[in-house]
Structure 1
Amino acid sequence: MSDLELVEGNAKLVEDERGLSLVEGDLVLRGDFTRLLNRIRPANLGRELLVKAAKPRSLGPDPVAVDATAGLGEDALLLAAAGFSVRLVERNPQVAALLRDALRRGQENPRLAPAIARMELVEGDSLEVLPRLDAPPDLILLDPMFPARRKSAASKKKMQLFQHLECPCDVEEALLHAAIAARPRKVIVKRPVRGPHLAGVKPAYAITGKTVRYDCIVLPRDGRGQ
């Protein structure tokens, strides 16, 4: 095991035979797409809230998505499994390192490889990346992290560990405006189930679960917001 780089507090990135991890005490955070294998099975994928919100079949063949707040890439994997080509934008270099390693390991799994082949990691700030896209994507996904997710105690501790690297978004309104300005066909915003609309923008429709809600902002064909 070799230490790669110290991060905030006592957490550090370490690499071993299982891949790259963020470690603090007995807590270990590692990108692991195998956790989603059951969720991306064809029989289950259509029941995913994000896939319902994205409506990939309504976007035609070979839809393109940008996950502008990629994190560890789990939402992006769901979109890729549903048929999207997904560009994952991650601004934090340590989180990007965890994600890159998870993608590398996922490529070695034959059940994950087809979806991961449609995923491309871009390191950078979405506020800078979105204006430079070559063409308008069909969908942009935003997940400005919110602190009050209802999870188990262990999951909450892991989220705190993750937030040593990736703080909740502090430029939510600017991020939404940048997404709209990129002229996608729709913007999907992941929110707490009872949370306010991001930047006060009311969605065309929402898909709601027990703890999260996907607000779907559908843009006119010319890509301009309302």
Structure 2
Amino acid sequence: MVSGMRLYSEAEFEPQARQFAAALASRGVQVQLEAVEKLNARFFRLNPELALSADADGLWLCAGGMKMRPDWKAEAGRLKRASLKSEMIARACNLAEKPQLIDATAGLGHDSLLMAHLGAQVTLLERHPVLFTLLEDAHRQAMQDPFLSAAASRIQLVFSDSADYLRQRAAQHQAADVVYLDPMFPQRDQHQQAVKKQAQVKKQMQLLHLLLPEHGEMDLGDNLLALAQAIAKRVVVKRPRLAVFLAGQAPQHQWQGDACRFDAYFQHDLML
């Protein structure tokens, strides 16, 4: 999946860097540790290739003079404002019932953190070893944060391909209340002539686009819908507001926002 990456760190943070390297090696990523005198903006400009770095804030993905990580602490403001009534995702995923929820498309984990904060027990799936390790570090830091620890304790990270995990759950007759899907690269509706050209992708997504997907193939998530429907009575798909339906399948219900929507698929007669 990933042949190898450089991991930069200053001497002070070499022990942490070695721990990250060991975790990545256990997931099939061979990391070349490289000590540098100073990890600063100039260094990243002069070393634009895709790499990792470790510093006082944790593990970072770096490329093109930029760096990013799943910064769960930065989500605290949103969480403090969030409520079951104010968040559309809460209504779509029926979070008032405190569901057992599988987030099969982890991304940076921000939606999972919000859903856990609002009461869901979340199983967060990620198959890419580098992104999983970044999420693992974010989760570790959140568990140590006085405000975030309660939500983080309701999140279980699982290093797995989502399709394999959902098939295994079905084979073991293990149901879930909700499966949440937010594909990293949602297919745009080519027939929406009124849609203006998309603004430049945010910095975080630019770096994720360099890391994902493997072999140049976009994972649109279409195959996950049927697998999710096999184990959950409610499947919720987050989409750009004007995007086509996932797998071409119209939902039973929608929640519409200005920039995105949530499509819901219900299996009332699900038998496992």
Q: Which range, TM-score by smaller chain?
A: 0.7 to 0.9
Instruction: State the Cα distance separating 1:185 from its structure 2 match.
Output: 1.7
**Structure 1 residues 108-123: aligned runs within 5 Å:** 108-123=144-159
Please list the CA deviations of residues 151-197 of structure 1 after superposition, one character each: whole Å capped at 9, or x if unmatched. 865x5233121112233753522111111112x12001111100111
Q: Is the 8 A contact 2:105 2:182 kept in 1?
A: yes
Rg larger in structure: 2
**Structure 1 residues 1-226: aligned runs within 5 Å:** 1=9, 4=21, 5=31, 10-41=49-80, 43-46=81-84, 47-57=86-96, 60=97, 62-133=98-169, 135-146=174-185, 153=200, 156-167=202-213, 169-170=218-219, 172-182=221-231, 184-222=232-270
Runs of at least 5 residues in structure 2 that lack an aligned partner in the other structure: 1-8, 22-30, 33-47, 189-196
Q: Is the 8 A contact 1:73 1:99 kept in 2?
A: yes
- 2-structure distance, mates of 1:157, 1:115: 26
Percent identity, aligned pairs only?
A: 34
1 or 2 for the larger relative contact order (CA 8 Å, sep ≥6)?
Answer: 1
- 2-structure distance, mates of 1:25, 1:196: 32
Aligned letter for 2:103? D
* Residue aligned with 1:38, SS: helix
Q: TM-score, normalised by structure 1?
A: 0.86
Please list the CA deviations of residues 84-141 of structure 1 after superposition, one character each: whole Å capped at 9, or x if unmatched. 1100000111000100000001111111000000001101111100122252110001
Instruction: State the Cα distance separating 1:44 from its structure 2 match.
Output: 2.4
The RMSD of aligned alpha carbons is 2.3
- 1-structure distance, mates of 2:212, 2:122: 21
Instruction: State the Cα distance separating 1:21 from its structure 2 match.
Output: 0.4
> Residues 157, 36 of structure 1: CA spacing in aligned structure 2 closer, same or farther, 3 A cutoff?
closer
Equivalenced residue count is 215
Runs of at least 5 residues in structure 1 that lack an aligned partner in the other structure: none
> Residues 13, 151 of structure 1: CA spacing in aligned structure 2 closer, same or farther, 3 A cutoff?
farther
> Residues 72, 223 of structure 1: CA spacing in aligned structure 2 closer, same or farther, 3 A cutoff?
farther
Q: Is the 8 A contact 2:51 2:61 kept in 1?
A: yes
